[in-house]
Homo-oligomer: A and B are copies of this chain.
Amino acid sequence: MRTLDQVRPTLPANWYYDQEHYSRELDAIWYRDWICVGRMDALRRDGDYFVVKLGTQSIVVTRLPDGTLNAFHNTCRHRGTTLCRDDQGHFRNGRVVCPYHTWAYATDGRLVGTPGRIETEDFDAKNYSLYATHVEIWRGFIFINLSNSPVLQLDEFLGDEVNALRNWPLEDMRSVHQEKIALACNWKIFWENYSECYHCPRVHPELCKVTPIYEKGVLSAADLPDFDPEYDGDSIDAAVGGGAKTWTMNGEISLPIIQGPTEEERTQGVTFSSFASSLYVVGHPEFVRSVRIMPTGPESMELTVDWLLPSSYEAEDKQILEPILGLTRLVIQQDGDVCELNQQGLHSMRHQSGALIPQEYELWDFHESIRNKLANMEMK
């Protein structure tokens, strides 16, 4: 049984709505950590690109001829014009051309052409490459890092959590459906919601039917007082039950089983892999779901949910996806709803902070990591 040994305070309430604190979190977390911004399957050809908003920053990610990626600020070096106005597109002829004065860059960022040759002695095109930012791929997921020199390499940052889904062929999957959801809450509220199942009995009755352990308000059997690790083996994760095989409304699997996961992993029906603060990925026997989180203000955020299937799978008809969309979409809606209620209540002048109860140990860890990141930044 994993618990906190005493009730502990949450983060201060004003960290969830204060504009200045929000700016500090952008600097200490979102502009310094590795942040997931999309999937490789969104960039199929050389020159394909997408644009991501991260805080106040607009970043372009594009695919180079050698299959690697380049990421750069969506800003021309000449007078600062936005290079890409669309959310996604394709750079023709390997050229990023500014729509204002047609300064032209190679997709790798080098300035390769300006109209009306600039002939002053001091001008050297090498000094005018696009503002590059770090970009790395982990099994099809694209991460960027806006700091000049990231403290950790991507694999150090991701840590052991990558093992949870090691048997799913993540790099060979593609998004067959995507939804973006704007929520009127601070980004931390959503991550806290994800980090406990104390709310499940009340908020997710349909989900509890296919994952009965959630009826008890815990993330998994390992959180129950009578859990015996010797007897129960290492199944410390949540598992479907009551006859259900996966996270669909009726618990049935209607798409082909994904090759890779073990029998035990398939039987479990659901496996989580979490990469705070921007991504979690959930493996099911027949599909994978990724949920990306982006702050858009002190009291607003955006979710991007992707439903992934093996690349080889051809869904001839969108209708065939309904079973894997139905329950999981409902659960996100239910979570979004209580997250927004949580946000509003924090403004009470009497509410300095809330209380974490023993089951909410993952929230404590999350809060500690935030306190540490803020402290680290301030020491600099």
Contact = CB atoms under 8 A, between A and B. Distances in A.
A11 to B, nearest CB: 10
A203 interface: yes
Contacts of A120: 4-7, 357-358
A169 interface: no
Interface stretch (A243-251, A278-286, A336-344): A336-344
* Chief secondary structure at chain A's binding surface: loop
A79 to B, nearest CB: 4
Interface in A36-88: 56-58, 73-83, 85
B201 A349 contact: no
Counting chain B CB atoms within 10 Å of each CB, the highest count among A76, A83, A121 belongs to: A76
Contact of A81 (B99, B100, B338, B355): B338
B82 A344 contact: yes
B359 A80 contact: no
B202 A345 contact: no
A168 B154 CA distance: 67
A21 B118 CA distance: 32
A195 to B, nearest CB: 11
In the complex, the count of this chain's copies comes to 3
A31 interface: yes
Contacts of A346: 75, 80
Contacts of A5: 120
Contacts of A356: 79
A203 B77 CA distance: 18
A324 to B, nearest CB: 27
A156 interface: no
Contacts of A344: 58, 82
19 contacts: A6-B120, A10-B80, A31-B349, A57-B347, A74-B345, A74-B348, A75-B350, A79-B356, A80-B354, A81-B341, A82-B342, A83-B345, A101-B217, A119-B358, A120-B357, A120-B358, A128-B355, A131-B351, A146-B349
Interface of A: 4-7, 10, 13, 31, 56-58, 73-83, 85, 99-102, 114-116, 118-123, 128, 131, 146, 192, 198-199, 201-203, 216-218, 338, 341-342, 344-351, 354-359
